[in-house]
Amino acid sequence: MLRVTEDDRVRAVVRNDLDESTGIHFHGQNLPNAMDGVPFLTQPPIMPGETFVYEFVADPAGSHMYHSHHNATDQVGRGILGAFIVDPRDAGQRYQVCA
């Protein structure tokens, strides 16, 4: 799980130690297009042995996820995914239960 606060600058360094290319998508976030994690469409794939640095401002707050966006059926099934929690900047809005 990755946990940040709304409006934090996120810097995620992804090193690809797989035998195939990959890319990471931070689902639900307002990202620069070049950081959207869709290989061959919004960014070049992260090739085996290469590193890619994702940098963006966490927005909006909420419970999100990150996941592989390349050969995702296989890579997500092997564990390239996780929770990406963006806590609201206003502490008074945290942990509210919706009716």
CATH number of the CATH domain containing 45: 2.60.40.420
Range of the domain at 69: 2-93
Does the pLDDT at position 95 exceed 90? no
Q: Tell whether 98 is covered by a domain.
A: no
- The mean pLDDT of 4-17, rounded to a whole number, is 97
Listed residue (52, 57, 65) closest to 23, CA to CA: 52
Q: What is the pLDDT of residue 91?
A: 76
Question: pLDDT tens-digit profile of 24-39?
Answer: 999 999 999 999 998 8
- The mean pLDDT of 1-18, rounded to a whole number, is 97
Distance CA 29, CA 27 (A): 6
Q: Tell whether 71 is covered by a domain.
A: yes
Which backbone phi and psi does 79 adopt, to 5 degrees? 110, 10
Matching residue, tokens 């307002």: 30
Q: 13 to each of 16, 50, 54, 55, how far by Cα in Å?
A: 10, 11, 6, 9
Question: pLDDT tens-digit profile of 38-59?
Answer: 888 899 999 999 999 999 999 9
Q: Tell whether 81 is covered by a domain.
A: yes
Distance CA 90, CA 28 (A): 19
